Chain A
Amino acid sequence: MTTTAPPERATGAPGAGDAYTAAQAAQDAGAAHGTRTLRVWRGAGGTGAFTEFTTDVVEGMVVLDAIHQIQAEQANDLAVRWNCKAGKCGSCSAEINGKPKLMCMTRLDELPTDAPITVEPMRAFPHVRDLVSDVSWNFRVKPQIRRFTPRPPDAPDGTWRMRQADVDRVQEFRQCIECFLCQDVCHVLRDHHKHETFAGPRYFVHAAALEMHPLDTADRIPELRQAQGIGYCNITKCCTSVCPEHIAITDNAIIPLKERVVDRFYDPVGRLVQLFRRKSPAH
């Protein structure tokens, strides 16, 4: 079994922080060897079952490391999608112990040691094979959102002037790595299967990034209300809670967009609260 990582492991160079002792180095070198068991979903096209694998672990390993080790040593054909292994590409999304997470950013020592770790594909999308889901629907949604349309340049050399504060607001949304975990957890997609009429949190973040872009001039509000179905969202904040980039999806993207829809289509102000309540999933 893995031991838990020591908190704030000290590795300072002398004179540059806490001293790293030989004892700690020896402890590190010798520590944390053991095995763990993973229950991995295997199968194709929606049918499948969990298979248990036991594999050696060392300190610092993440779920993706364990999957790769199983793949290399026990099941060469175990299907898993991944690229960067550094939390930057958003490819290795899965459901780990029932929670949508990136496999490359989930350390084994964060997970309870008294039971096997379950690893399943994202369940809101069609299953391909083993840990891989068919996420192609997401790639069909984006082109439906009106493209970036800048105002004329501010300077004669064709460039623009923007304030850092205005850029910061949008840069939060542009941290999105398109892992689709927010789409996976959103009940409108996961439980109600509204893929044809609802763009999902990822694309509300994308739309918000465009709408709040200091240079953009296009109007996406009517489409957000109709084709992209923003009204189906009833602000459960599940998307925000699973975002590995810690984007405040609901508070900073979806709610401001909903307010713009409401301002545009549901004046006078007195009807706001009522309408807000009526916009439930049954809508």
Chain B
Amino acid sequence: MSERVSTYAHEDYQTVDHDVLVIGAGGAGLRAAIEAAGDGVRVGLVCKSLLGKAHTVMAEGGVAAALANVDDRDSWRVHFADTMRGGQYVNNWRMVELHAREAPERVKELEAWGALFDRTVDGRILQRNFGGHRYPRLAHVGDRTGLEMIRTLQDHGVHAGIDVHMECTVLTLLTDGGRVSGAFGYDRERGRFRLFRAKAVVLATGGIGRAYKITSNSWEYTGDGHSLAYHAGAALQDMEFVQFHPTGMIWPPSVRGILVTEGVRGEGGVLRNSDGRRFMFDDIPENYRPQTADSEDEGWRYTQGDRNARRPPELLTRDHVARCIVREVREGRGSPHGGVFLDISWIKDRLPNAAEHIKRKLPSMYHQFRQLANIDITRQPMEIGPTTHYVMGGVRVDGDTQMSTVPGLFAAGECAAGLHGANRLGGNSLSDLLVFGKRAGEHAARFARTNGAVSIDGAQADAAARAALAPFERHDGAEQPYHLQETLQERMQELVGIVRTEREMREALGAIAELKARAAHVGVRGNREYNPGWHTALDLGHLLTVAEAITRSALERRESRGGHFREDFPEKDPAYADFNLVVRKGADGEMQLAREPIPPLPAELAAIIEEMTG
């Protein structure tokens, strides 16, 4: 359904009506759209890129689900306890419970839709080891699980009656008396504005990695969903928790940040410093000590499926491994290009046909290093270092429905907060997007069916259109969008990165304020058709919003927990264990910070944690 509405500057906005509008077409968005369409409502799906190209394709290791196919000691209860512990207990425990209970069904459903996972000897879905998971729990397809998942969802979705708007970018959400009423954006090819009217909106826009210089994230990860929700009046939470994946490529410079899957360590890869020392044995956190191997031999046996062996220290949580790597580099034991060594080739001492085994288990990694770094990982170690990978923080949502604090506005996947707490376990993002993508789609459809029509406030769209076109009118002395983006990325990397201090973060706030002022003078050349300079200028606002939210939250949390590490407060502080930090846009337009108490754990869930950690 489409109509033309004449508004700002005598321009026709193409107006499109949907019951549910899903913004973002990665795993969470596709799963939400499929669920809502299955409910019989009219669904629109907006993707910034082409369909099937979202960052989900980059997920390598696997999808976490307690299927217990490889180790029958696994269950949703263990998965629950592992996720709470990984998240340092500031997670939304209801989401953790639903996720652990429902992930196995969501994975099986994917198989029923055509996904082909690797198999056990008796023909069931195979599962592999990963950091922080007590038992082998990740269903996978070699090291390209994300591609398998997004393709399955895409292929299933194209038959589901969803209207897909490709290469379309949302600039702002529209509201009607406090309730969400749609979205306003533009199509990249022609540069024409498009107005979406919708009774419910699901944000599934992914993360914020492009706020940092070294990142595994694609260009799309500019925090759009976080920023759209914030400016529409929704609360964001846990923004200080940014995950730096311990293993990104670091050489050559142009590939710096590209992910090296944790699957390398799951298959037996080890970390060494320039002295050849396997340094991960040097610092094992107390609460993981009982389940961590105390010899190289035991660690190896664990990766090869020995149920009586404990996991090697390379498979401790990502925040811990990343900090150990930073320590080695800072203390002068790093590799030539400022990282450390990740070695899977050493397994030739343990396995016959090790080279073939590596190529079969880690085909993408083999090709990636071969092609981009001239390294044969079956013969040589990789040089790796931490890379910005994931944001645990995001839109504050209800654990059951995924609705934000704005009625009719839902969020799922990386742009929603709660499930992962202070640190995400590998493999939990792919299960997150299935479980909560489904829930968001289901509840958005229900909301659309049970709430009346919305009306569009043309002035909101006009204001957005005017702001979007302003950069074309600036010529002399205009700021250059790429330059501002790069400056922001460098400042965030430097000042609000893996190790944080009060002084540096105050400096970051100053830099953000200055860049915000300069962003108001950004100018672009050319016309509106497929103009990446213009797009970069429009992304800047989102990036600055999330950068500020991260920095303000990180300043407020005067302790170290999960992905958030303060050099000036290096210990975990129990006083910070029972609330989430929430940011909202104040009436004056400034960012406001609040501490929201975490509801107490129900006795049944508390008992699980007691049992698993006791």
Interface residues of A (CB under 8 A from B): 5-18, 20, 24-25, 28, 44, 58-62, 65, 71-73, 76-91, 105, 107, 128-130, 132, 134-136, 139, 142-143, 147-148, 150, 153, 158-164, 167, 170-171, 174-178, 206, 210, 213, 215-216
Contact = CB atoms under 8 A, between A and B. Distances in A.
A25 B336 CA distance: 6
Interface in B136-165: 141-142, 144, 147-148, 151, 155-156, 158-159, 164
Contacts of A16: 272, 276, 341, 343, 345-346, 381
Given A76-B526, A77-B533, A178-B52, A17 B381 contact: yes
A78 B155 contact: no
Contact of B380 (A5, A12, A143, A158): A12
Contacts of B486: 72
A61 B529 contact: no
B539 to A, nearest CB: 13
A61 B52 contact: no
Given A83-B218, A159-B124, A161-B124, A8 B376 contact: yes
B420 to A, nearest CB: 22
Interface of B: 49-55, 57-58, 108, 111-114, 116-119, 122-125, 141-142, 144, 147-148, 151, 155-156, 158-159, 164, 166, 189, 218-220, 251-255, 258-259, 272-276, 335-337, 341, 343, 345-346, 364, 367-368, 371-376, 379-381, 383, 480-483, 486, 524-527, 529-534, 536
A222 B518 CA distance: 61
17 contacts: A13-B273, A16-B343, A16-B346, A28-B336, A62-B254, A62-B372, A72-B482, A72-B486, A84-B218, A88-B57, A88-B364, A89-B58, A132-B530, A153-B112, A158-B108, A162-B123, A216-B114
A17 B379 contact: yes
B352 to A, nearest CB: 19
Contacts of B383: 11
A164 B525 contact: no
Contact of A79 (B117, B524, B531): B531
Given A16-B346, A78-B532, A174 B148 contact: yes
B141 A171 contact: yes
Given A11-B383, A13-B273, A148-B155, A177 B57 contact: yes
A174 B151 contact: yes
A249 to B, nearest CB: 16
Given A77-B531, A143-B158, A148-B155, A87 B371 contact: yes
A12 B218 CA distance: 29
Report the 4 A-B pairs with minimum CB-CB distance, sorted nearest first. A60-B252, A76-B533, A77-B526, A161-B123
Nearest to A131: B530
B46 to A, nearest CB: 15
Nearest to A86: B258
A175 B144 contact: yes
Contact of A60 (B159, B255, B482): B255
Contacts of B274: 13-14
A37 to B, nearest CB: 18
B388 to A, nearest CB: 14
A215 B117 CA distance: 13
Given A84-B55, A171-B141, A11 B335 contact: yes
Contacts of A28: 251, 336-337
Contact of A15 (B53, B125, B276, B368): B276
B116 to A, nearest CB: 5
Contacts of A87: 367-368, 371
A164 B51 contact: no
B251 A60 contact: yes
A142 B155 contact: yes
Contacts of B525: 76-77
B219 A83 contact: yes
Given A17-B379, A142-B158, A163 B119 contact: yes
Contact of B335 (A6, A13, A86, A130): A13
Nearest to A163: B123
Contacts of B144: 88, 175
B155 A90 contact: no
Contacts of A60: 251-255, 372-373
Given A17-B380, A59-B253, 14 more contacts: A10-B380, A11-B341, A20-B335, A60-B253, A83-B219, A89-B218, A107-B372, A130-B530, A132-B530, A143-B159, A158-B108, A160-B111, A162-B119, A170-B116
Contact of A83 (B49, B116, B118): B49
B113 to A, nearest CB: 7
A224 to B, nearest CB: 17
Contacts of B147: 88, 174-175, 177
Contacts of B272: 13, 15-16
Given A16-B276, A79-B531, A89 B379 contact: no
Contacts of A6: 374
Contacts of B343: 13, 16-17
Contacts of B259: 86
Contacts of A59: 252-253
B119 A167 contact: yes
B252 A14 contact: no
Given A91-B49, A132-B530, A86 B368 contact: yes
A10 B259 CA distance: 21
Nearest to A45: B529
Contacts of B367: 87
Nearest to B125: A159
B561 to A, nearest CB: 31
A206 B114 CA distance: 12
